[in-house]
Amino acid sequence: MLDGFKKFIMRGNVVDLAVGIIIGAAFGKIVSSLVTDILMPPIGMLMGNVDFSGLFINLSGTHYPTLVAAKKAGAPTLNYGLFINSVIDFLIVAAAVYIVVIAINKLHKKEEAAPEKPSNEEQLLTDIRDLLKERC
């Protein structure tokens, strides 16, 4: 059983998948930081100094000045600002994956489009066949 597991793990597809998951997780963290720390502050400033990460709807009826205060009190909240950040994260990651898939597809098409040139012997045999067809 251990040998079978070792063979399964060492197959190229499993290792490639593991590398892809690790890189994807790291890329997700970078995109989250990009959205939270770089993109959303200027967008919030343009919209009248809005901090999207602090936008929420309090469902308890009690007023809380910030989302942190509401969470500390245990109040139920709809955190639509955090949801907006997550949607933007997703759109950036989806666009990046789309670009990578297009690039990989273009590489595969170029590889398939280049047929092998026949050898000299094959070319000579093809010419002889064509000459024999002309005579008949």
Question: 32 with 89: CB under 8 angstroms?
Answer: yes
Structural domain of 66: 2-135
Question: Alpha-carbon distance 41 to 131, whole Å?
Answer: 76
Structurally, the chain folds into a number of domains equal to 1
Count Cβ atoms within 10 A of the Cβ of residue 41 and give its class: 0-12 exposed, 13-18 middle, 19 or more buried: middle
pTM to 2 decimal places: 0.60
Gap between the terminal Cα atoms of the chain: 66
Tens-digit pLDDT string for the chain (136 aa):
788 877 776 776 777 778 888 888 888 889 888 888 888 889 888 888 888 888 999 999 899 999 999 999 999 999 999 999 889 988 888 888 888 888 888 877 766 666 678 888 888 889 999 998 998 7
